[in-house]
Structure 1
Amino acid sequence: IYLGDELACENDYSYQENAEKSGDSRWLHRFGFDWERAKLRNDASTPVGRVYQGLLRLIQIRLQNMAFHRGSTEIIDTGNAHVFGFFRNQESQSVLVLGNFTEREQVLSARHLRQLGLRRTVVDQVAGRTVTAAQEMVLAPYQLMILARNL
C-alpha cells in the first residue's frame, strides 16, 4: 500500500512535467498528504470511506486468523484461470483466499471446491456470509473471499 492508497487517491502524474523526476515513476505515489480527503475516511457513503474501511476490515481479518501469522503458503489451481487462490496453513487453522481479477463474474465448480477440501459450509470473512461449498461458487467482479476453517 502506497501513501494515499488507503484514501482512494489517484496516481499523480505531475512528476512527468519535472525534468529531474520524469524518468522515475516512483514519484507517481510521492505527493503531499491530502488532509481534507482524510476527513472522509469514516464516511462509508464516499469512495474514500469505503476503501479505508475495507482496508481496516482486511487488517482485522488478518490479525484474527493465526494462519496469516506464521502459516505456510500454498498456491492452488482454482480450476478457473481468472481466479487466483492460495491456502495459508498453520497448525490449527487453514485459510483459503480467492480473488477474481476480472470485470466479470467467475464460477468455481462444486467438484473443484471438493477437490480443494471444501466439503461443508465455510464463512467468507470479507463479506461475513456463509458459503456452501457443496454448490458452485460465484465470485463477483474483483471480489476477494477469505474462507477460514479449523483443521
Structure 2
Amino acid sequence: MEPASIEVIVAAHTAFNERRLDELELFMHEDVDLFLPLSLGLRPTGEKGLAALRATLANALAVAPDLRIEFERAEVVGDLVILACLAAATGTDGVRYQWPLRVIVAAEDRRITRYIVRAPHADLAADAHAFPARRGAAKPQ
C-alpha cells in the first residue's frame, strides 16, 4: 500500500468525525466491502457498496450521534493498513463510553475498498487473510 492510502484513510475518518458524510463517500469505492459488528447495523458476513455504507452510518448515528473514532496508531502490512483506534460515544444513560477497536483497511486508487472493524483481541492476521482483495483474488473455501 502506498503512503497516500494512509492519508485517504485519515481524511475519511476526519470526514466521519466531522459528519461530512457526503465527503466521506468520495473516499469509498462504490463497491466497498464492509465487515462491521452487528451493533453498527451490518451482518458480520459483510455488505458491499455505498448503499450499505449509508445504511450503516444512519444506524450508528441514530444510536450514537456523537460517535467518534480516533487513531492511536497505524501499521502497513502488505496491501493493508491495520489501525488501532479508540471509539467514543455517549450512551442512552448519558455516560460517555470509550472502547478500543482494530480496523483493517485496504485502498486502491486512493479509495477505500475494504473496511473491516474487529475487537482489539481479534486475530487480525487471520482476519486479513479471510477477506481477500476485492479484485482478482479467490474467495476462501
Structure ranking higher in strand proportion:
2
Q: Which has the higher contact order (CA 8 A, sep 6+)?
A: 2
Common fold: TM-score over 0.5: no
Structure 1 length as normaliser, TM-score? 0.30
Larger radius of gyration: 1
